[in-house]
Structure 1
């Protein structure tokens, strides 16, 4: 099975047409929104115009009002085309819908094209109880270890796999490889050389029963020569109960500055971090919403 592409939506079509008529790029639109105090990430703008998501939160609706003004549209022209917001909160007793996962430089169409070759239909049947990313950066300032441990719980009988999407440090690099480490094996693999992404099925040791948990580990390995790294980012397509990221630096090449960041619905938050005695920066977060989370750094 594969995920069907989202049908065309009036809001997305109107936004796409307005951007085209206005002769502006998404980069320029994102820049103008930042200048007006209503920042929206490039990825979120791309999702809006493709119909994969829509503005719903107050800060996103404020940004949409500026989008209308910047594109020369009457106030409310795009807002009236929005669909009813999806239910949120503890009163919603249904499996969550995943957001798209894509490399920072990719587009939603690239993601759709890539996941046609794998089965992502079970993704929203797994609750992410705990996710731990360990990144080891060498003296050459490149990532030498990218290991992830996850504790997952099946919310239906018959769940037997998880799809991992990975990418390198830039779209010019060869596609990385996802390697099973513990309690999983490789299933189907779909690569997109144009975007530098790979989607890999991790097959569990057995089919899970409802409410059964599984602990799996995998690594992401990039072909040499390895590029200098400046961040590690996780795109959480679904909620995560607990997320821990730690980045361990070589004592011979410490970073100048380190921050944690999150980007949910186009609003980025940043906080400075300090290294511990093991030259490691870490960030712990609870009850994550779908979005982007990670640690970035600059070099001396």
Structure 2
């Protein structure tokens, strides 16, 4: 049996490229809306045929968190590159406190703000407020002794103006006796300047894009944070957002010997 080629999403500029790209992907995949609905249901992301029809006609767009999770699964069902449809949705509509004032300072959500502020001065964070966060997907791996082994991060960003060429990663260990992790760029990025402060449990590094982005251009980057022995205990996981993000997905893979009794989600400074 011949392998099915991977479908590419048409990203030619339109007034609203999302419905056009979705229709093209559905047509190329050769599946009816009922079959797509059934496959999404099996994946745990139910979407009605009516909703799928509205999405591809442009009558409405995925907005709610469950719809955005379903859209990520839909990309898999349609065999298009991960993030290629989500990236066409554009920025989320401002809500709540984001309607007033600028984004918080980059160190705002860290326990030792002065420490983070000083470290960030050693890298170039000028583009941080010029990148719209479209999607953030984290895969956290927990080892057999309930230790944090790695974090695989994939994000979709869009440039708000010409020029953004990097992303700044800030990592902090609560236990300063553990070695700092190693950041490994995997897709569409390389390492830039890095600040190591092991005594403070702090690491700040630049992820340099393949090239500067033009206004409205999107990029999908992937990087892995690999922790080193003796590993820090995986008692919690936090992702801090300075600006709104349209979609955030966190997966946690637990070793069979370290299954949790329960997990609790929390949000600081906002609402679910």
Which category describes the TM-score, using the shorter chain as reference length? 0.5 to 0.7
**Structure 2 counterpart of 1:208:** 213
Aligned to 2:139: 134
User: Are the aligned partners of 2:154 and 2:221 in contact in 1 as well (CA < 8 Å)?
Assistant: yes
Equivalent residue runs for 1:90-239 within 5 Å: 96-101=102-107, 106-239=111-244
Shift of 1:226: 0.9
Spell out the pairing of 1:10-89 with structure 2 (5 A cutoff): 89=95
Number of paired residues? 179
Instruction: Answer whether contact 1:163 1:200 (CA < 8 A) is retained.
Output: yes
Answer 1 or 2: which has greater helix percent.
2
More strand, by proportion: 1
Do the aligned partners of residues 96 and 242 (structure 1) sit closer, same or farther apart at CA in structure 2, a change above 3 Å counting? farther
1:94 CA displacement: 10
Please give the alpha-carbon distance, in whole angstroms, between the structure 1 residues aligned to 2:196 and 2:243. 22
Cα distance in 2 for residues equivalent to 1:102 and 1:114: 14
**1:102 touches 1:165 (CA, 8 Å); kept in 2?**
no
2:57 match:
none
State the 1:190 CA deviation: 1.3
Partner SS, residue 208 of structure 1: coil
Is residue 251 of structure 1 aligned with residue 245 of structure 2?
Answer: no
| Shift in CA distance, 230/129, structure 1 to aligned 2, threshold 3 Å | same
Per the normalisation by structure 1, the TM-score is 0.55
Q: Secondary structure at the match of 2:149?
A: strand
In 2, are the aligned partners of 1:95 and 1:124 still within 8 Å (CA)?
A: no
Shift of 1:230: 0.7
CA contact (8 A) 1:98 1:124 kept: no
5+ long unaligned stretches in structure 2: 1-93
Aligned to 1:70: none
Q: CA distance change for structure 1 residues 150 and 206 in 2, over 3 Å: closer, same or farther?
A: same
Tell me how far apart the structure 2 counterparts of residues 219 and 188 of structure 1 sit (CA, whole Å): 17
How far apart in 2 are the matches of 1:193 and 1:148?
Answer: 22
Contact 2:149 2:228 in 1 (8 A): no
Aligned-CA RMSD value? 2.6
Task: Write the distance in 2 (CA, Å) between the matches of 1:162 and 1:257.
Answer: 34
Structure 1 residue 191 displacement after superposition: 2.1
Q: Assess, with a 3 A threshold, how the Cα gap between structure 1 residues 97 and 120 changes in structure 2: closer, same or farther.
A: same
Q: 8 Å contact 1:101–1:235 — kept in the other structure?
A: no
Indicate the residue corresponding to 2:269 in structure 1: 264
Q: Secondary structure at the match of 1:246?
A: strand
Q: Secondary structure at the match of 2:210?
A: strand
